[in-house]
């Protein structure tokens, strides 16, 4: 969410009515999330000036770890230098820390492609936004889910109940520090996640939604301690349902 919002912001800056705007003091502290969107807190260090040049050798974009040669345009300006400077700073301060770690396994190659392409400045801001929107579409639609054996048949569903909330086993990247609360596309994906975790014996699809509209599923190690809830369904592994406490 943070990276996509940043890319949308940089897309606007690259195509603003004032021309291409560069953020000269590009640091994470310069941004804040407001209602799910990333905003710049200080525009004092923004500039529409693009580096003047006489030849291509005048257009070198220098960073501490990389240097990029750019073209000198017919009007004597380094082509796209403001856009490229913003994009590489987004890569070094945001993408490298946030993109590789929390996406579903099937989507990680797409994010790795974005990471590599922006790190080498092979993508401009237009291509970067298009690539992010493709990943978001795959994520929201569930199209990233590979064909696999149906696992939900290995679970008993108990309608009209939910599990008592409490501290349970932890997983990553959980939305709750008390237990294992993950975003899922469907109960079938939740069953696959539960099967992949040795502690998991049951789960419930909660009423909570993430910013993409996907529901959160709560995974627990014990299928006991159920309480009535007309709007809920608990899914319990058949192998766990034979326990005498249930």
CB 234 within 8 A of CB 223: yes
Closest CA to 4 of 33, 43, 41, 46: 33
Active-site annotation holds for 25: yes
Helices vs. strands in the chain: H and E counts, helices first: 6, 11
- Residue in 25, 45, 56, 58 annotated catalytic: 25
- The token duo for 81 is 């230098």
User: For residue 209, what are its two tokens?
Assistant: 């939604």
136: phi then psi, degrees, rounded to nearest 5: -60, -40
Is-contact 122 66, C-beta < 8 A?
no
Q: Are 108 and 85 in contact (CB under 8 A)?
A: no
Residues with catalytic roles: 25
């Amino acid at each position: 969410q943070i990276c996509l919002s940043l890319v949308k912001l940089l897309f606007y800056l690259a195509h603003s009515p004032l021309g291409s705007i560069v953020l000269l003091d590009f640091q994470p502290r310069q941004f804040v999330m407001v209602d799910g969107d990333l905003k710049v807190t200080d525009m004092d260090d923004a500039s529409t000036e693009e580096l003047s040049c006489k030849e291509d050798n005048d257009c070198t974009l220098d960073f501490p770890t990389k240097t990029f040669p750019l073209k000198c345009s017919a009007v004597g300006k380094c082509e796209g230098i403001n856009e490229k400077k913003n994009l590489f700073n987004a890569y070094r301060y945001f993408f490298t820390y946030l993109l590789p770690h929390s996406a579903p396994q099937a989507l990680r190659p797409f994010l790795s492609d974005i990471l590599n392409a922006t790190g080498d400045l092979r993508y401009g801001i237009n291509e970067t936004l298009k690539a992010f929107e493709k990943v978001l579409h795959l994520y929201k639609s569930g199209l990233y889910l590979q064909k696999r054996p149906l696992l939900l048949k290995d679970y008993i569903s108990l309608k009209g109940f939910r599990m008592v909330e409490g501290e349970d086993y932890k997983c990553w990247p959980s939305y709750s520090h008390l237990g294992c609360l993950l975003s899922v596309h469907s109960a079938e994906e939740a069953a696959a996640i539960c099967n992949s975790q040795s502690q998991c014996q049951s789960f419930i699809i909660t009423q909570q939604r993430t910013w993409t509209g996907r529901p959160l599923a709560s995974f627990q190690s014990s299928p006991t301690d159920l309480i009535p809830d007309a709007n809920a369904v608990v899914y319990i592994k058949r192998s766990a349902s034979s326990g005498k406490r249930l």
